[in-house]
Amino acid sequence: MSRPDRPHDETLIALMRDDPAFAAELLSAALAEAQQPGGREALLTTLRCYAEAKGMSAIAQETGLSRESLYRALSARGNPTLKTLLAVLKALGLRLGVERSEKSAAAA
């Protein structure tokens, strides 16, 4: 059980470290909500937390990017390139998926 004074990100990182399936589901949900207000920032923060759970140094080494570049790209105000995003996802053992939005599916 987490301490009540433990910061949110630290708790999230610990949960993701202990349960990669939870991390993948959380990232999937964040991706689905990325176009909502605040969604992009939430997605990047969630992705950064998972990278921290796996070890930012290891992710940096596997992607060929510096830790500083990763922290900048995955910050709430970051704007990672598609190349960076795909490299980070690959290093995390994940891949990007595409599905029809509910609005598109209802119109069809």
SS3 content of the chain, % helix, strand, coil (to 5): 65, 0, 35
Percent of the chain, pLDDT > 70? Answer: 90
pLDDT digits (tens, 9 = 90+) for 71-83: 999 999 999 999 9
Q: Which residues are CB-contacts of 65 (< 8 A; sequence separation ≥ 6)?
A: 73, 84, 87
What is the reported pTM? 0.84
pLDDT digits (tens, 9 = 90+) for 43-70: 999 999 999 999 999 999 999 999 999 9
**Please, are residues 94 and 24 in contact by the beta-carbon 8 Å criterion?**
yes
Q: Which two tokens stand for residue 95?
A: 């891949």
